Amino acid sequence: MSATPIERTLVTTTSTTTASSPTASSPTTTTPMTSTPMTVPVCALADLAPERGAAALVDGVQVALFRLADGTVRAVQQLDPYSGANVMSRGIVGTRGDVPTVAGPMYKQVFSLLTGECLDPVGYSPRPGHGPDLVAHRVEVRDGVVHVGLA
Amino acid sequence: MSTGPLPEGTPSQLVAAHELVVVGGGMVAQRLVEAFLARLDAAPGAGAWHVTVFAEEPRLPYDRVALTSYFSARDPEELVLGDASMWDDPRVTLHRDCKVDAVDRDARTVTDRLGRVHAYDELVLATGSYAFMPPIPGHDLPGVFVYRTVDDVAALRGWVEQVRSSRGDGVDRPVRGAVIGGGLLGLEAAGALKALGAQATVIEFGTHLMGAQIDLGGGQALKRLINELGIAVRPGSATEKMVADRRSGRVSRLQFGDGGKLGVDVVVVATGVRPRDEVARDAGLEIGERGGVVVDLGCRTSDPHVFAVGEVACIEGRCIGLVAPGYAMAEVVADRLLGGDATFPGADTATKLKLQGVDVASFGDAFARTEGAMELVWADPVAGVYKKLVLSDDARTLLGGVFVGDATPYASLRPMLGSALPGDPGAFLLPEGTGGAPTLELPDDAAVCSCNNVSAGTIRAAVTDHDCTDVASVKACTRAGTSCGSCLPLVKKITTTELERAGIEVSNALCEHFEMSRAQLFDAVRVADLHTFSEIIGRFGVEGTRGCDICKPTVASILASQGNGHILAGEQAALQDTNDHVMANMQKDGTYSVVPRIPGGEITPDGLLVIGQVAKDFGLYTKITGGQRIDMFGARIEQLPDIWRRLVEHGFESGHAYGKSLRTVKSCVGSTWCRYGVQDSVGMAVELELRYRGLRSPHKIKLGVSGCARECAEARGKDVGVIATDKGWNMYVGGNGGFTPRHAQLFAEDLTSAELLRTIDRFLMYYVRTADRLQRTAPWVDDVEGGLDGLRAVILEDSLGICADLDAAMASHVDAYEDEWRAVLEDPDKLRRFGSFVNAPTVADPDLAYVAERGQRRPATPEERAADAPVIAGPRLEVRA
């Protein structure tokens, strides 16, 4: 793959992010929801390297898990809608403004790890049959174990 | 859907309410489909459409205008137009290698070459042209070619290479080539012959070259420039016949009307094109006097359900062999198909010759045929420059122009066509530095990019309304400059002017997390003696942020250049970009390619066997790289350690093909074997490669070493090129291939081997320290204060007093080198990141699918997956040794 247009404009995230959570209490709960029985234990929190992703198979669905610097864990679809390959977990974790992000490892689109929204398509269109955004899955960390609930 | 035989194909075809059939798969057909889909997306009420495209060639539509670049690129993929994923759209079916033989207008069907019948509601003919072969006796001899398609170019190249290699008689005589036809295409063909190492003579029937675009004065200047490229020109020559060699039966001589002769091994005929209108004729459509399907200004033929676009369309009484008017017609038809009333805006016949080193451009009324037109000419025969403006009778309005030898004014003047020029028109023709042309403020409606029909106003709006802050984003936003690229200097100028006007400082900040440039950060990190990203962003970054995909790899590179241990050690691992993170190159399906180092391209038969066996055991596709090594594709992330364990066991090490670092040092075989070689180029290449392996840098670095001035290693296309002389080595810097190819420039002459190493040490280390992120050596050399001379002062005369420091830094790199892959294999902690899934580390990605092609496997295309074609069942099990 050639290293094409990496110079780019920075998207000033006009924070329309609706995901800011009211859950306040537990620092390990990541997404705004009450705990539902539909979550599956996936791995130990210690199995995830800080600020990097890992792929997981959850009921046959490929999921990308990211452990952020503050210890929270986020999950989005592993399929990169811009390349059609199962690679999202191999992207670089970062921030745009206050939003934690992952950059697609193939063509460097930037996605919010809060909502899965594509913040910067860097001039590309998603492949036919795919939307621009990632599906965000629910994650709970209980007793050092990461649980994922498919969206 | 119309009545008639049911079309075959995808189910979506059966449910679509309207069927559009496009006959032809060239550039204009591609643009038509693109424009049509864009309009469909923008008009939800347009109903369901399905588009079927029939292409005669076996490949996706490609950029025929850039065909000559195929000689250097050699990869037809690089010529693919626009976003190739368009062809995966379920609303589109592309039949390649599938010419349409007949159109039945009553039944509204087309019949393809396989006899299949397809129904249409609307039909667009985009069959283009064929290269005209004049009835000269001998035109069908082996060795006579036309120049129109990728296959033509490939056949020509194959022929030249075969002639050269079949000689075998020890005679070092170049391949003799001739091009019949001195037009735009003929000159490009001649350039292509030169690029292939053949001689080239251009045979022109008329008085001068490019007679359709430029006048006699320009033609004479052009001839001198062409001669300087080593291409001979024979104007006023009618080719009477082509004569075959008696023994081989191949073309061997041209005979001219004036009795002259020319010995040849290869002939390219470029005497123009003719419209491919045979299907339209058979279907009874109205045909123009000189061929072509007659269309009105809405591009409709004499049948209201049939349109014609591009070179096959006879519009306003003529066929136009240029792509920009074809694109304009495609837009018209896309609009009309959905009920619009767009009309053809008239042909923009401006042309620019794409031949390296020769600037020729012509636009508008180049021959001053307008009543009362005035010609303003600047000619400098010594410099080989001829410039002409054609102005209205009041000497104000620009009607056209011709530029030969210096086409700089072309980009800014062409959009002014039909407008009044500010100030003295003569000022536009004077050489640079003599006062210069007045600054042009283009009107908003002036066309800047005629390929994609982008106006100056659209580019300004990209900056003011869409927040574009550089040329790359303007290109992505407007598509300006994405086809032929000739307008890019103008796009850049407009963009910069607009940014300045908006008070936007063109910032050199790395990203939103660091306000410093890479060079500033490099020094800061070094002086402050920092070793982790957390320390660095804490000290120099924006408070409370955690970096991104831009600054993290940059910091990773800075840390690696300053000797901070293994790139996957501790916190550094999280900073690494896609490829560095698993020390392999990610491919389109998410698997990786593996490249062991083969220093200087020298490899033992045993080494070849090891690579062959590993590739075979793991089912990897193999290909020789451009850098004289072997690439193995299709390795899954969880296979990488097993593959490398085998390679390391047999003495191979990382080739850093994944890194912004030294890639390869290419060499010719040199004096050890070659009868012309004057130095041991392989020995030097191996020494250089082992010295600089693993050196992390702002971008990839490639070196080349040639054993004599014949330059078989193509060292002048490298960041550092070394060419042997009788006395030692000449060193060149700042060359590269890629998107903007550059020849390396001579930096120092007749160096001893020790002097060479020291000079390269300093050059590379200075580059590593001061270049911008992703800046290759060529633009970096341009940016160094004083350019090449400034660089010589720093490196050869130590004008900054930093040479001892640079030497020490390189020495420490050489001492600290370790093989990254061996280190990973010895460390269970680092090995853990190579699992496929955190909860199933050895399970292969179940979505991978492959098909066999030419005896190896490759990723299945979306169509092949959808059709459940003969896909090799997903990942295969490797055989362990």
Domain boundary assignment for chain A: 49-149
The count of other CB atoms within 10 Å of the CB of residue B38 is: 13
Q: With an 8 Å Cβ cutoff, are B88 and A128 in contact? A: yes
How close is the nearest chain B Cα to the Cα of A81, in Å?
12
Is residue B712 a known part of a binding site?
Answer: yes
Structure tokens at B206: 């008329």
pLDDT digits (tens, 9 = 90+) for B710-752: 999 999 999 999 999 999 999 999 999 876 788 999 999 999 9
Contacts of A108 in chain B (CB under 8 A): 549
Helix (H, G, I), strand (E, B), or coil: what is residue B302?
A: coil
Cα(B688)–Cα(B705) distance, rounded to whole angstroms?
9
B176 and B89 housed in the same domain: no
How close is the nearest chain A Cα to the Cα of B252, in Å?
43
Q: Which of B586, B843, B847 sits opposite A1 (nearest CB)?
A: B586
Of B531, B548, B576, which one is at a domain's C-terminal end?
A: B576
Compare A96 and B67 and report the one with higher pLDDT. Answer: A96
B20 and B112 housed in the same domain: yes
**Mean of pLDDT values over B390-394:** 88
**Mean of pLDDT values over B47-71:** 83
pLDDT digits (tens, 9 = 90+) for B373-382: 888 888 887 7
Cα(A106)–Cα(A87) distance, rounded to whole angstroms?
8
Supply φ then ψ for residue A90, to 5 degrees.
-95, 15
pLDDT score of B879: 36
Confidence band (pLDDT; 50, 70, 90) for B77? Answer: low
Q: With an 8 Å Cβ cutoff, are A93 and B574 in contact? A: yes
Supply φ then ψ for residue A77, to 5 degrees.
-65, 145
Cα(B436)–Cα(B675) distance, rounded to whole angstroms?
53
Confidence band (pLDDT; 50, 70, 90) for B1? Answer: very low
Say if domain A49-149 classifies as CATH 2.102.10.10.
yes
Residue B722 near residue B684 (C-beta atoms within 8 A)? yes
**Side-chain-facing half-sphere of B267: CA atoms under 13 Å:** 28
Burial of A140 (0-12, 13-18, 19+ CB in 10 A): buried
B204 and B294 housed in the same domain: no
Cα(B757)–Cα(B764) distance, rounded to whole angstroms?
11
Q: With an 8 Å Cβ cutoff, are A57 and B553 in contact? A: no
pLDDT score of B486: 64
Contacts of B838 in chain A (CB under 8 A): 42-43, 47-48, 54-56, 65
Contacts of A45 in chain B (CB under 8 A): none
Residue of A2, A4, A9 for testing the chain B interface, max B β-carbons within 10 Å: A9
Domain membership of residue B69 (yes or no) is: yes
Residue B407's CATH number: 3.30.390
| Helix (H) or strand (E) segment spanning residue B536 | helix B533-540
pLDDT score of B170: 53
How close is the nearest chain B Cα to the Cα of A91, in Å?
7
The count of other CB atoms within 10 Å of the CB of residue B789 is: 9
The count of other CB atoms within 10 Å of the CB of residue A5 is: 16
B107 and B201 housed in the same domain: no
Confidence band (pLDDT; 50, 70, 90) for A1? Answer: very low
**Mean of pLDDT values over A29-43:** 65
Number of domains forming the structure of chain B = 4
Residue of B88, B92, B550 for testing the chain A interface, max A β-carbons within 10 Å: B550
Q: With an 8 Å Cβ cutoff, are B575 and A56 in contact? A: no
Contacts of B85 in chain A (CB under 8 A): 125, 127-128
Q: Is this prediction's ipTM beyond 0.90?
A: no
Domain membership of residue B175 (yes or no) is: yes
Q: Which residue of A has its CA nearest to B577?
A: A92
Compare B494 and B31 and report the one with higher pLDDT. Answer: B31
Q: Which residue of B has its CA nearest to A127?
A: B85
Is residue B708 a known part of a binding site?
Answer: yes
| Helix (H) or strand (E) segment spanning residue A41 | strand A40-44
Is residue B668 a known part of a binding site?
Answer: yes
Q: Of B259-263, B358-362, B447-451, B632-636, give the lowest mean pLDDT range.
A: B447-451
Domain membership of residue B325 (yes or no) is: yes
Which range of residues forms the domain containing residue B266? 144-271
B25 and B123 housed in the same domain: yes
Q: Which residue of A has its CA nearest to B658?
A: A1
Residue B585 near residue B597 (C-beta atoms within 8 A)? no
B37 and B81 housed in the same domain: yes
Cα(B821)–Cα(B165) distance, rounded to whole angstroms?
41
Of B221, B244, B271, which one is at a domain's C-terminal end?
A: B271
Q: Which of A80, A94, A106 sits opposite B548 (nearest CB)?
A: A94
Contacts of A84 in chain B (CB under 8 A): 589, 862
Contacts of B862 in chain A (CB under 8 A): 84, 127-128
Closest by CA to B704, choosing from B678, B731, B675, is B731
B423 and B325 housed in the same domain: no
How close is the nearest chain B Cα to the Cα of A23, in Å?
22
Of B536, B552, B576, which one is at a domain's C-terminal end?
A: B576
Residue B231's CATH number: 3.50.50.60
Confidence band (pLDDT; 50, 70, 90) for B195? Answer: confident
B261 and B288 housed in the same domain: no
pLDDT score of B72: 58
How close is the nearest chain A Cα to the Cα of B547, in Å?
5
pLDDT at B395 over 60: yes
Please provide the average confidence, as pLDDT, over all residues in chain B. 87
Q: What is the DSSP letter of B197?
A: T
How close is the nearest chain B Cα to the Cα of A133, in Å?
18
Pairing of strands B49-54, B92-95: parallel
Contacts of A6 in chain B (CB under 8 A): 550, 774
pLDDT at B405 over 90: no
The count of other CB atoms within 10 Å of the CB of residue B799 is: 14
pLDDT digits (tens, 9 = 90+) for A41-50: 999 999 999 9
Residue of B50, B549, B583, B631 for testing the chain A interface, max A β-carbons within 10 Å: B549
Q: Which of B577, B835, B839 sits opposite A92 (nearest CB)?
A: B577
Q: What is the DSSP letter of A10?
A: P
Q: With an 8 Å Cβ cutoff, are B837 and A93 in contact? A: no
pLDDT at A21 over 60: no
